[in-house]
Structure formats: structure tokens, C-alpha cells
Structure 1
Amino acid sequence: MKKRPALSKGEMEVARVLWELGEATVRQVHKNLPADRNIDFVTVQTYLRRLAAKGYLRTTTQGRIKVYHPKVKPQTVIRESVSDFVSRLFDGESLPLVRHLIEERGISNDDIDELRSLLDRLKKENS
């Protein structure tokens, strides 16, 4: 499959709203953006067009209105974005990213327990 171009911060924000709605018009996406975000209608329209051009959305027409539909699942976009990020910043190594996140942002005891369980399970699977 051809690699899709990465999403800008604004495109990602609009894509999240569309994933949440399932399908939507520009007006519906614009209305469902967080209230503190002051993105105008035309900008939302531009982001949706770019997302479609990049292969993340497909469109249908209902009368004279264009309806946007997700073409790529959020988990796929997350996987591709994280993979690209890890490749560029950490030379493809995951542990430095995990270490950085834990040291810079901290981690709760509950998260430590969950991480320990995950590591135990992964160690058992690798044995």
C-alpha cells in the first residue's frame, strides 16, 4: 500500500471529530469541534478536502452536500504516526521513547502495575 502523507495537527483534530461522528458534513464537523477551538468553517472545509486528498477520507454526495466518511481507522493512523515519530526521533528504537515519556511525564503506581503486567506477559510470550 502507498504510504499516506502525515497529518498536520489541525487535520488530526478534524479527523478525530469525524471518527467520533462516523460520517459528517463540513457543518457537522465544525459544530462538533471543541468549544475552545476557534476554527472557522472554511478552514474545516479545507482540512476535510486535504484529508480526502491524502487518502484518509472518502466522500459521497447527498443532493448538493458532500458527506465525509473515514477511510482509515484511527488505530491505523496512530500506528503509522507513532512508527514515523519513533523512526525520526529515536532511530526506530521504542525503549528510548518509553523512557523519555516516563521520566518527563511521570507514571502513577497503577500505571506501573499495568506496565509490569504487560512486560511479564510479553516476556512469557517471548520465551
Structure 2
Amino acid sequence: MADEIPTLGELESRVLQLVWQYQPCSERHISDVVREERDVARTTVLKTMQRLEAKGLLQRDGARPAQYTATVEQQQVLPELVRRFVEGALGGSAEPLVAYLAGQKKLSAKDIQTLKKIAGKIDS
């Protein structure tokens, strides 16, 4: 599956996250959410969704307005994106990522439990 996941830009990643969260959803809904977060034109969001569709990550139905759904599950994509980030941006070392996570005050109890499980797997 890793070879099938195309490279994603920052806006493409964010749009895909929002589609996972709200699907099925219209371009207008995703555009409204994105535009609350950053200063981009609605047409930029639409073009981004069209690129994600061309990459095979989104599909839209024929309804008016068109409804978008993701063609891949979040669990299929996120591990590969994290791997690319660690290898590319962090030079293959997960240490900065682990240090960042350890310093976060916003980690939920579930996040902490997950990190402990992962650490337990590493120790075994």
C-alpha cells in the first residue's frame, strides 16, 4: 500500500483529513472549514479536492452538490505519511518526534496509553 500513496502537500493532507472527518461532504463544506483556518480562495480548495480525486484518494458522486468520500482509510495512509516525515524531515531519526510528543501538554489519557503500549512493544 505504501507505494500506492501519492505524495501529499500540506493543503492536500488537511483536506483529506477533513473529508475523513465529515464524509460524505460537499466541497463547500470543506472549503468553509479550511477557510476558517487559513486564507485561501474557495477555488484553491476545489482545485485541491480535484487533485486528490485525480490521485485516487477522493471520489465524488454525481449528485448536486457533489458529495466527496475518501477512497482510502485513514489507517492506510497515516503510517506511510509519518514514515515519509521521519525519513525526510527528520533524517530517519524518530528522536525529535518522540521528544516533541513527550513535551506536549495536550496529550489525552488515550494518547498517553497508546504511547506506553508502543514503548512496551519496543522493549519486548
> TM-score normalized by structure 2?
0.72
1:71 match: 71
Structure 2: tracts of 5 or more residues without a match = none
Match of 1:48 in 2: 49
2:60–2:66 Cα contact (<8 Å) kept = yes
Alignment match, 1:33 = 34
**Alignment root-mean-square deviation, CA:** 3.1
What TM-score results when the alignment is normalised by the length of structure 1? 0.70
Q: How much has 1:34 moved relative to structure 2? A: 5.5
Sequence identity percentage:
22
Count of aligned positions: 119
Output the amino acid matched with 2:100: L
CA distance in 1, matches of 2:51, 2:119: 43
* Contact in 2 for aligned 1:18/1:29 (Cα 8 Å): yes
Distance 1:120 1:53 in 2: 38
Q: Which entry has the higher C-alpha Rg, 1 or 2?
A: 1
Q: Which residue of 1 aligns with 2:100?
A: 101
**Shift in Å at residue 75 of structure 1?**
2.8
Q: Residue 61 of structure 1: SS of its match in structure 2?
A: coil
**Contact conserved, 2:35 with 2:42, CA < 8 A, in 1?**
no
Distance 2:5 2:12 in 1: 13
- Alignment gaps of 5+ in structure 1: none
Deviation at 1:46, TM superposition (A): 0.3
Alignment of 1:8 with 2:5, yes or no, is no
